[in-house]
Amino acid sequence: MEEAAVLLPRLALCLPLRERSVMHKGRLEAITDGVIAVIITIMVLEMKAPPGTDFAALASTLPVFITYALSYTNVAIFWNNHHHMLQVSERVDGRSLWANLFLLFWLSLVPFVIRWMNETGFAALPTAAYGLVLVMAAIGYLLLERMLIACNGADSALARAVGSDLKEKLSLSIYAAAILLAFVQPWIGIVLYIAVALIWFIPDRRIEKKI
């Protein structure tokens, strides 16, 4: 036993520096799963019961339900694609951790903006703010993607899978248009938010092919 205790540290020193300094992705995935679970819980708790017992009262909560369903879908899309992206990433570094926290910060604001929208009757500014939060979350996701590619190498599976970022640029353009049009008619902005969700509803097949 004493010989093993002496031998193991020596064997560790014999490993290449790259292998000894690898920062594994488990904790990044764990905190992401935990934060997203809390976000979804808060969102559903924000939904209020109908003000009556008839169908008219139930129908009055339909806009709130649509907002919740859209927000749930958006958070689920980020989590789903985040999961796929981490599956083809072998390691993370400090920059990746900060990029992931940046993404989670903006996702954590989703319950706040949907409550603001609901309490103001889907006014222009809260609806535009919802789009801004989604834009910043999308930027956070792209930033995390770039940091992971830099960490894993230009020849990594993730780098090969990502390739062109046309889909990401298109989504950001639609979000930008939605934010501006929300000041003209809030429901136009919401329709465009739904359009982006439909674009991303199916996980990125470029990454799925590499898994």
Q: Using N-to-C axis directions, what is the helix angle for 26-45 and 62-87, rounded to 10°?
A: 180
Longest pairwise C-alpha distance within the chain: 78
pTM of the entire predicted model: 0.81
Only one residue has tokens 């900060």, namely 98
At 11 the pLDDT is 39
For residue 126, the model assigns a pLDDT of 95
- pLDDT tens for each residue of 151-206: 887 787 777 777 667 778 888 999 999 999 999 999 999 999 999 998 887 765 65
Rounded to 10 degrees, the C-alpha dihedral 153/154/156/157 comes to 140
CB 80 within 8 A of CB 203: yes
The CA distance from 151 to 169, in Å, is 23
Q: Are 160 and 119 in contact (CB under 8 A)?
A: no
**Which amino acid, residue 123?**
A
